């Protein structure tokens, strides 16, 4: 994604149908002229063209050309401030012009062997054929430069207007060439608010099992894009309805089998989607941008329920420890999808903590309870605030107001105590070195046990001075078997 300032934009003579206020960076015309002077074609293609039709100024600049990578590099020499080989074997050269990053790719035709994760790339010579290989008609449009001639051979504009996602060729051929396109269909449903055509929906159901040949890393990237889109529910419902979720996120469709007696008006699957919807709406109260960790934790917070469901006397249904079980399950799934350790740990921790608020009941929060809540959440406190509030989906308005008021009180208590103590950095009143000096012991597990004991006392009773803390430590030490050795 490029960085830019307003001065880099210029109004260009775009074809009829584009919004009047859509702008492009000034150098696009110049770049198109350079390719034309060298005897080659150049066109702005795919997402940028689609986004301009939707009224957005472009932030990514993707171009396609009949020039081979070596020729692209020659044309860019003396014009670009820097250039690099993104993947010459795939025909893509990257360049920087000012603060902008552009990618230029040779016309190509790529297909997947039925059992391979890697495409076979063949360079092409025709723009229409290059567009034909693309995933969906909304991405199979181009603006030929430098004259900005719209090339839309497969009805991409019509698809945008109607809000229906279609493929340039048959969806069966498109998904056979690259099965990841089925996940992209779900992502675009979430991102653009479109639906898929009946043919695309049918092909996704018939061919969904082919998604298993795609690498976990590529699946993860599409899942993240879907989750941070404006309407992630639409994409997730499409993945579940098509059966693709059974392969990439099986914990989600499994929720349909865990009827939750606590949420009689909806099953756990619907409840989880609603919690995620609530998190999407509420995240602006805590974050400046779409937050994947919050949204994914909201979606997955109850995935431990199917494994922990028990039928109690009187027809009641319980899900004891589903938070702990769910945390382990989501961590396992995210590792399989090759998420980084920090993101995985954050989501799993939120799933583990999502019931913590309800464990305190309706009573007044003590200082000790507040300290433990903040300490357990750590850097995820804002996420936990948003998740806990989002988890209220009851249709009982009186109950919803009571829970909201209770959480308002908790946040107020946190703010009040934070003014008195450094809640975000609560530590025992004695550090490890002091513990060793007072007890006359060497580094080892015993120091850790003493540290944990002092931390628990700190959380329960608040801060104390050195002498009082020292006496607390000595009292604890007197009861330890090691002290008798």
Per-residue pLDDT of the chain (485 residues; tens, 9 = 90+): 344 443 455 556 677 778 877 778 888 999 999 999 999 999 999 999 999 988 887 888 999 999 999 999 999 999 999 999 887 677 899 999 988 999 999 998 755 566 655 666 778 889 999 999 999 999 999 999 998 899 999 999 999 999 999 999 999 999 998 999 999 999 999 999 999 999 999 999 999 999 999 999 999 999 999 999 999 999 999 999 999 999 999 999 999 876 544 444 458 999 999 999 999 999 999 999 999 999 999 999 999 998 888 877 777 777 888 999 999 999 999 999 999 999 999 999 999 999 988 766 555 677 777 888 888 888 999 999 999 999 988 878 888 888 888 888 888 888 777 665 555 556 777 788 888 888 888 888 888 888 887 877 777 777 777 888 888 888 888 888 887 66
SS3 per residue for the chain: CCCCCHHHEECCCCCCCCCCCCCEECHHHHHHHHHHHCCCCEEEECHHHHHHHCCCCCCCEEEEECCCHHHHHHHHCCCCCEEEEEEHHHCEEEEEECCEEEEEEECEEEEECCCCCCEEEEECCCHHHHHHCCCCHHHCCEEEECCCEEECCCCHHHHHHHCEECCCCCHHHHHHHCCHHHHHHHHHHHHHCCEECHHHHHHHHHHHHHHHHCCHHHHHHHHHHHHCCCCHHHHHHHHHHHCCHHHHCCHHHHHHHCCCHHHCCCCHHHHHHHHHHHHHHHHHHCCCCCCHHHHHHHHHCCCCHHHHCEECHHHCEECCCHHHHHHHHHHHHHHHCCCCHHHHHHHHHHHHHCCHHHHHCCCCCCHHHHHHHHHHHHHHHHHHHHHHHHCCCCCCHHHHHHHHHHHHHHHHHHHHHHHHCCHHHCCCCCCHHHHHHHHCCCCCHHHHHHHHHHHHHHHHHCCCCHHHHHHHHHHHHHCCHHHHC
Is-above-0.85 flag for pTM?
Answer: no
């Amino acid at each position: 994604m490029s960085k830019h300032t307003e001065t880099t934009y210029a109004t260009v003579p775009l074809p009829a149908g584009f919004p009047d206020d859509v702008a492009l960076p000034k150098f696009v015309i110049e770049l198109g002229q350079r390719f034309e002077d060298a005897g080659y074609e150049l066109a702005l293609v795919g997402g940028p063209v689609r986004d301009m039709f939707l009224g957005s100024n472009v932030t990514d600049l993707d171009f396609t050309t009949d020039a081979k990578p070596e020729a692209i590099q020659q044309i860019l020499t003396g014009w670009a401030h820097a250039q690099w080989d993104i993947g010459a074997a795939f025909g893509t050269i990257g360049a920087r012009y000012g603060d902008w990053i552009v990618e230029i790719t040779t016309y190509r035709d790529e297909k997947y062997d039925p059992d391979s994760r890697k495409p076979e790339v063949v360079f092409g010579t025709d723009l229409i054929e290059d567009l034909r290989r693309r995933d969906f008609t909304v991405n199979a449009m181009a603006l030929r430069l430098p004259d900005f001639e719209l090339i839309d051979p497969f009805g991409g504009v019509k698809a945008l207007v109607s809000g229906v996602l279609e493929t340039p060729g048959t969806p069966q051929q498109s998904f056979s060439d690259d099965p990841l396109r089925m996940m992209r269909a779900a992502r675009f449903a979430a991102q653009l608010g479109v639906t898929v055509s009946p043919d695309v929906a049918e092909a996704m159901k018939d061919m969904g099992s082919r998604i298993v040949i795609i690498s976990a890393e590529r699946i993860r990237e599409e899942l993240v894009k879907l989750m941070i889109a404006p309407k992630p529910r639409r994409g997730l419902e499409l993945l579940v309805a098509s059966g693709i979720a059974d392969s990439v996120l099986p914990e989600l469709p499994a929720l349909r089998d865990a009827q939750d007696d606590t949420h009689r008006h909806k099953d756990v699957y619907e409840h989880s989607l609603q919690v995620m919807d609530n998190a999407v709406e509420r995240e602006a109260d805590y974050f400046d941008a779409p937050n994947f960790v919050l949204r994914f934790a909201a979606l997955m917070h109850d995935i431990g329920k199917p494994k922990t469901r028990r039928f109690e006397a009187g027809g009641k249904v319980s899900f004891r420890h589903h938070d702990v079980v769910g945390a382990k399950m989501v961590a396992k799934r995210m590792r399989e999808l090759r998420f980084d350790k920090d993101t995985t740990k954050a989501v799993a921790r939120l799933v583990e903590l999502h019931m913590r608020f309800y464990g305190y009941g309706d009573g007044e929060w003590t200082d000790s309870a507040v300290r433990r809540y903040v300490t357990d959440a750590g850097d995820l406190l804002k996420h936990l605030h948003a998740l806990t509030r989002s988890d209220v989906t009851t249709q009982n308005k009186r109950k919803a107001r009571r829970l909201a008021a209770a959480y308002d009180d908790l946040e107020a208590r946190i703010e009040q105590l934070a003014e008195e103590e450094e809640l975000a950095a609560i530590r025992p009143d004695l550090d490890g070195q002091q513990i060793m000096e007072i007890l006359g012991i060497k580094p080892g597990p015993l120091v850790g046990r003493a540290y944990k004991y002092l931390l628990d006392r700190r959380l329960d009773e608040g801060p104390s001075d050195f002498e009082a803390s020292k006496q607390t430590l000595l009292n604890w030490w007197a009861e330890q078997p090691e002290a008798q050795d």
